[in-house]
């Protein structure tokens, strides 16, 4: 039984006006940073870790995670 909260992490919107959506022109390069924080702790008191993975058909040639 887990006695500590397991709340969703806070993910800061990367685009202007605090949005997760933006408009781009096809063929243009899109760069943005995603920042997330999970303040909950594991049962032994250590911080939880986050892994963010991007996937989907909208990523074309040249997709990288740098």
pLDDT tens-digit readout, 15-34:
999 999 999 998 888 888 99
In angstroms, the Cα distances linking 18 to 9, 13, 34 are: 16, 5, 12
Please give the Cα distance from 57 to 66 (Å, whole number).
19
**pTM exceeds 0.85 for this model:** no
Number of domain units in the chain: 1
DSSP for residue 9: P
Please give the Cα distance from 55 to 66 (Å, whole number).
15
Domain span at residue 32 reads 1-66
Predicted confidence at residue 61, as pLDDT, reads 75
Q: Name the more confident of 58 and 36.
A: 36
């Amino acid at each position: 039984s887990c006695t500590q909260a397991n709340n969703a992490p806070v993910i800061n919107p990367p685009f202007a006006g605090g949005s997760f959506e933006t408009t781009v022109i096809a063929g243009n390069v899109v760069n943005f940073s995603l920042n997330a924080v999970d303040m909950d702790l594991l049962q032994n008191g250590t911080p939880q870790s986050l892994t963010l993975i991007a996937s989907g058909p909208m990523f074309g040639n040249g997709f990288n995670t740098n």
